[in-house]
Amino acid sequence: MGKLSIRLLVGLVAGAELSATGALAQGAVDAPATQTAGPATPAVSGAAAATPSLRRARPDRTGQTEAASGANTVEEVVVTANKREQRLNKVGQDVSVISGAQLARQHITSVQDVAATTPGLEFSESGTDTPIYTLRGVGFNESTLGVFPDVSVYIDEVPLQFPAMTLHSAYDLQRIEVLKGPQGTLFGENATGGAINYIAKKPSNVFGAGADISYGNYNDVQGDAYITGPLAPNLTARFALTGERSDGWQYSYTRPNDHNGAIDYVAGRATFDYQPNDELKLSLVLNAWNDQSQPEAPQLIAIRPQIPAGEHLSELRYPFPPDHSITAADWNPGALTPSSDRQLYQAAFRADWAIDDALKLTSLTSFSHFDQNVSTDEDGTSLALANVGPSFGRLTTVNQELRLAGTMNRFRWVLGVNYEHDYTNENQALDFPTIRPRIPAR
């Protein structure tokens, strides 16, 4: 779908203004859209499939000014797929890397965009609005909040243990590494399909700042900002903020003035690096986001009664959406309208100690907390046939990784230990009709 957008980009480095440009693009080509399908509900007589997501073209985001200077140079790709820095052509496994320049050039700012860019990686939204990752056909199609995925996600090697925690992590990034195939030895977390590692941009010892704001159709406003620089001797910091707000893009074809699918979220990251000497480096990263976007409503495509004599006439006679319309759908009005309120808070502390030239000790400690209150419609009608919500959930995780890495002549070795404690709680309210009048027998 084409998009009319106006974008303003401002960047500052060491106090000197680099640029302030306005861009107008009409009919921009979107990243490949992911079409979602609502899971079948055995107790519901109507079959429904979710409408395709309208993935609007994304403007260049935070860090574009930093990447611009190297846009015309050949970049040597360095990855940490083996928990150490290596050139990509020296890594003995299948790794897809999205560089910072590519992130800005292709406007990759969400997990949907990452999946559309990475061969073999698929992202879909479940009926309860929990993301599902599949890599080279390996995934776990389960919508429960506390389910462990087959494709694990990390920020600088710090795990986001559950898929719902990963929704707003793809911003202010240096690169993205997608590791294909089982990663249980070095990454764990049930990573039988693979692992996605977001490498965030690090603090700089030179002051820099930048901002990006855009306006598009559906009154979509997107913005990013960052500021980085020294705070004290040997102490640097980086603060990044992103957010988006838009009107609903779906309309009810039985209530034309009712809309759904509005986007409303804000996310922030604070990074502090302290390096008192060449042997020791300490890092503290604080992540947080809040999302009050509306889950997409499915689109009714067929009605196949399991027991025709037991169905109500209002179900069998329910109208279908207009032909070839991807924005028309239907859902329950009032208290059962699709809605969400989700928030994540995460703190991660990392210590790297170079004991000598051949021995390095690394400690990774993280705490994550996630809350949600979500309501979704799974029947594609305004009738109360299959509604989930309000669904209350809470996730709390503590993770500790300790590893010792070294070299011995031409050999490299890693010895590590990992501890994790997870607490999950979810209370889903499934709203089905308790009394369904039968069609009178003839």
Provide the CATH number for the domain around residue 425: 2.40.170.20
- 39 lies in some domain: no
Tokens representing 223 are 């913005």
C-alpha–C-alpha distance, residues 52 and 246, integer Å: 17
Q: Where are the alpha helices (DSSP H) in 147-289?
A: none
Q: What are the beta bridge partners of residue 365?
A: 349, 400
As a whole number, the mean pLDDT across the chain is: 78
pLDDT at 262: 95
Residues 68 and 325: beta-carbon distance below 8 Å: no
C-alpha–C-alpha distance, residues 344 and 276, integer Å: 31
* Alpha carbon distances (Å) from 35 to 54, 123, 151, 387: 9, 9, 20, 21
C-alpha–C-alpha distance, residues 442 and 437, integer Å: 15
- 161 lies in some domain: yes
Signed CA dihedral, 345, 163, 394, 362: sign only: negative
Q: Is 406 helix (H, G, I), strand (E, B) or coil?
A: strand
Q: What are the beta bridge partners of residue 369?
A: 345, 396
Residue 387 predicted with pLDDT over 90: no
Question: Looking at residues 295-321, what average pLDDT do you find?
Answer: 82
Residues 151 and 165: beta-carbon distance below 8 Å: no
Residues 136 and 183: beta-carbon distance below 8 Å: no
- 209 lies in some domain: yes
Q: Looking at per-residue confidence, does 87 or 135 come out higher? A: 135
pLDDT at 59: 38
C-alpha–C-alpha distance, residues 297 and 50, integer Å: 6
- 25 lies in some domain: no
Confidence band, pLDDT 50/70/90 cuts, at residue 310: low
HSE, side-chain direction, 13 A CA sphere, residue 392 = 1
Which is it for strands 430-431 and 387-408: parallel, antiparallel or unpaired?
A: antiparallel
Residue 38 predicted with pLDDT over 60: no
pLDDT at 88: 62
- 24 lies in some domain: no
State what percent of residues in the chain have pLDDT above 90: 37
Question: Looking at residues 115-130, what average pLDDT do you find?
Answer: 80
Residue 257 falls in which region: left (phi positive, over 0), alpha (psi -120 to 50) or beta: alpha
Residue 71 predicted with pLDDT over 80: no
Residue 248 falls in which region: left (phi positive, over 0), alpha (psi -120 to 50) or beta: beta
Residue 16 predicted with pLDDT over 50: no
Q: Looking at per-residue confidence, does 221 or 441 come out higher? A: 221
Residue 437 falls in which region: left (phi positive, over 0), alpha (psi -120 to 50) or beta: beta
Confidence band, pLDDT 50/70/90 cuts, at residue 245: very high
> Which H or E run includes 316?
helix 313-316
- 213 lies in some domain: yes
- 296 lies in some domain: yes
C-alpha–C-alpha distance, residues 288 and 269, integer Å: 7
User: What global pTM score does this model have?
Assistant: 0.77
**Overall number of domains in the chain:** 1
Tokens representing 357 are 């030239």
Confidence band, pLDDT 50/70/90 cuts, at residue 84: low
pLDDT digits (tens, 9 = 90+) for 406-424: 988 888 888 989 899 999 9
Domain that residue 336 falls in: 5-16+44-431
Confidence band, pLDDT 50/70/90 cuts, at residue 91: low
Q: Which amino acid is at 156?
A: D
Residues 340 and 360: beta-carbon distance below 8 Å: no
- 439 lies in some domain: no
